[in-house]
Structure 1
Amino acid sequence: MLDAIRQSATSWGVKVLFGIIILVFVFWGVGSIGDGSKTQVVATVNERPILAQTFRQAQQRAVENMRQRNPEVTHEELRAMGLGRQVLESLVAEELLAEKAAQLGVTVSDVELRQKIYQLPYFQDESGQFDPDLYRRILNSQRIGIAEFEDDMRRSILSEKIERYVTHPAKASEEEAHELFGYSREKRTLQYLLVENDDYLDQVNATDEEVAAYYEENKEAFSVPMRLSFSYLPFTPSALASKVDVPEEYLREEYEARIDEYMQPEQVKARHILIEVAEGANEAIVEQAKREIETVRMRVVELDEDFATVAMEVSDGPSAVNGGDLGWFTRGQMVEAFEEAAFSLEPGAVSEPVRTPFGFHIILVEDREDEHVTPFEDAKESLKLAIAEDRAADLVSNLLDVALEQIYAGDSLEAVANDLGLAVRSTDEPLTRDGAQMILALTDKALDRLFSMEEGYVTDTPLETVDGYVLATVEKRLPPDYEPLEDVRETIAERIRQDKAEEMAKAEAEQLAERVQESGVPAELADALETSRPFDRQGLIEGLGMNQELTQQAFAAEKGAWLTGAWAVNDGYIVASLHEITPPTQEQWATEKAMWVDFISESKKEELFRSFLNDLQQKAEVLVYQQELIQ
């Protein structure tokens, strides 16, 4: 809680300070742990102590903060992350900044402190005014004293002031921003010849000797972790819901009370075909895309070609692989122009071309539903289950106590289940930890306990799940092993064949690369030349996949030049030339200028602040006395 409040109150520099940048600190000296005078001191910073109590409080806040984001994080994981050392490093940084502030005469007045606290939304009432009673209650609930909190806030404000003082000169010019904008937003297009791996599969095979050798060389890839077969009796709201009777009269009353939940908005089920056009593209590119989408519409409307098939062939964007299927959607889920067109169509109709920020679309509406209320009969079963589970939550504790008494008395899981009117469940096959977790949703500790149980043993303490408990009996333990060769023979053989086919495709592509470098595209391959979608420096080329080295070569090449060598892509290897260079438009720059100026300014501030912190560290004497606390 305290960390969250501090983050609301501080700027980017202080957040960086207490997160990542502080990792630049390296502790030089290690004092004697056995020195009795130092037992209450974790470290000193220029002879000023950091007390063990201060460290533990900061560490506890850090742990609570981590667990708010990830409730399942374990102590071992926190230790592996070096949380203790990071906490100490942040405390050292606070001391160094406080020392620097004193040297500069920078202070935090009581008025400044009050203003900052008054601005925190955590402590404001519904009208947005600071509420002193709420302030005290929240701090009490978090076991934080007012003096402790205000001292911590004062130090945070002080650090923020130093950050502003240090980074004030860091500003970006419009020229710098425009240069980075142009570099980042430029796109390029390739022309390429593709040599597909699959074209060589019928020319290769895998011998028994090769399969056996591959299995031995890669045996760990076929390892199987420990598995358990077990029976279990869950005590969760969903498992106990069947013991709760919900009369239909009550169901109808609840249905009427929750009627708003059953209001279904107007929705349509649609497919689309997209020809991408960047916002701000020049008129020639826009007209070309418009002609393409009109041709596509003619194919599906006048020539009666299957919409999904055409979408898979020509559409841009992720839905193309599913035939342009967008599923059901309601108003407000799509951009305005697309939404207006889709909701104006009757089922079976195809729209005229629609322009959106993504490009040109045509839309096929396959079905539609008007706004309506889900009938009681359709909602009854799900509502009944929800109510039953809610009531069953109150049964968990009592039934579990009864079950445990019988387990302690020596009863089997089956006998317990029969007496309680429940049913024991069993795994259909041995399960790994992941498999067991999928069906039981156990906590980490409970999962560890389950996999440490011996065969035939019944849990004498319940295993905790995300919403209840489980009692279990391990029927069979299968130790870690390897899949038998015969079970994976076909998989290995196919893998070897794929590798051999890829090697042949690569060799063919490399030879082709040499030919085009010398004399251009062979006449017999001219019709096979393809053009990529425009791509940026991130490395992903739509349809070809991710290849950062290929992207780097493309952005280093001159227009029309062939790239050296053959390049691995999704389906094989390509031989490519740089076809188009598309700089960003002035319209894009006008839209994004402020963002790029801010981005470079913040980067400069971060760099300047990092240098400042490093300088403080270089001049400081930091001694650590209790290494065991920070491990």
Structure 2
Amino acid sequence: MASGKVSNYLVYILLGLLIVGLMGFGASGLSGTVRSVGKVGGEPISIEAYGRDLTQIIRGVESQTGTALSFQDAQAQGLDRVALARSVTAKALEVEAAELGLSVSDETVRDELLTIPAFRRSDGGFDRDAYGFALQNNGMTEAEFEERLRSETARGLVQSAIAAGIEIPQTYTDTLLAHLGERRSYTFAWLEPAMLDAPLPEPDEEVLRAFYADAEDAFQLPERKRLTYVWLLPEMIVGDVELDEAALRDSYETRIDEFVQPERRLVERLVFATGAEAESAADRIAAGETIFEGLVAARGLDLADVDLGDVTREDLAAAGDPVFAAEDGAVTGPHPSNLGPALFRVNGIIEASETSFEDALPFLREDLAMDRARRQIEARISELEDQLAAGATLEDLAAEGGLEQGQIDWYDGLATGIAAYDAFGATARAVTEQDYPEIQMLEDGGIFALRLDEVVPAAKAPFEDVADEVRAAWELAEAETRLLEMAETLRAALENGSSFEDLGLAPQTAADQTRRDFAPDVPTGLLVDLFAAEPGAIIVTAEAGRAAIARLDAVEPHDPEDPDLRQISTLLSQQASQAISSEVFGTWMDTVQRRLGVQIDQQALNAVHANFR
């Protein structure tokens, strides 16, 4: 007989299952004569057990995503199948434990019960009232709950016996660490197109078309949505907006502060506690003992702290006249301010300006016309929506409603024409062939509606559309080919004892690099080859229109005392142990289930699922 406490890990799992069990599941209880969703080895899987598992899994996903999950979405994600697999596994463990003669003593059940936080008082003691209340609310007796706890603890014992104690051979982690920690030192240099003896030839169309044809996976268009759309923008109708002079003059008067600007000054103000302090500061500036910036810094302030920006004479109240009488760059004061006596420095003079109605007329006309155009478009939305609801097509809106019609092969990332609008992109991304067109707003006050005609599969773009890209790719490929030829010549010279400097190259060196190190200036392909080569090997590669040549100078084994590698060793061992334990348990459980036999009642499952909807 097995007794005593199971591992803390299993206890936490069991307590989580128990708490979820006490919370119930679904929207309401189940009724009827069907009480199980299936059998394992002839033993029923209760609908309550399956419901608890399904509830726990759904709530776990909701906790991870932070959003509520409908049962339909849960089914679409396969969560019901995950829950059923969990319930079948639990029942198989229970049957296997019974066949093995495993049981859990009353003392162990008591000890596990006392660890459940929901049943403990604030002083840590067991709260029998809370225990009884929770069971009563969930329609369970103490005997039923404690028997469930006994069964789940026994299942945990079986699972722990199968999955625990698997140790990873030290050879396994040593081999991985030797690979990850091996250190290599190398010298490399770039070969640039400017180093070629002659410039690249000028390709004709035949050469480019042949290159285009050979590049099977290049110049591809993504899957696209072929959309028919209509749209109406304010600028499309602004020319038809009629404006009378009265409206324009009203707009001018409303915006008069924009067109009539009084004289202003760019001013800084330093306030003092008393007039005497302000007078003393002004005298020091006049005597050349300090400057305005010095006074500001002495107060622990920055110039930004005393900057008033551009102000009018009226903004400065009593200090307005003397400040406006001061010259640009002058410090004047002390003068009164709403915060106390202050020194003022004038940093700039902005003369008064006035734009007459006639001069402002082009701006007024454009702004007012655009505003009215937006309002006219907004006023038409209900009318257009009614037409669509009555069966009008986008073509009808274009022919009779004055909207402009177009077609676009849209894909995510397209940002030209109407696709540059975020609102259009969001609608295009979500639309399906079953959706009906709807009037939508654009960011600038325009409107649009769209229809998905077909989904166009990914395909190679026509040569004429990507001719510039083809030429650029050909130039890169041609440069790489010629540079690799140069690199092969240099390789022979390096192998014969020449140095990088002898060959006119500008080498870079790297010492004790591991496979874990980041080397942003070194081509990825070159690093792979270097870590597969023997000391002294010369490696050449090409990337992005240039080539690189490298020499592997030294190979050193990993340092077993490296603290980073020690930490990696521990993690690798733990991960491998967990993975193998999971595989062992899964294989064993498959065998047990085949031996015991599993039967699933789909009608009972449907009844449970109906309770979740």
**TM-score scaled to structure 1, two decimals?**
0.47
**TM-score scaled to structure 2, two decimals?**
0.48
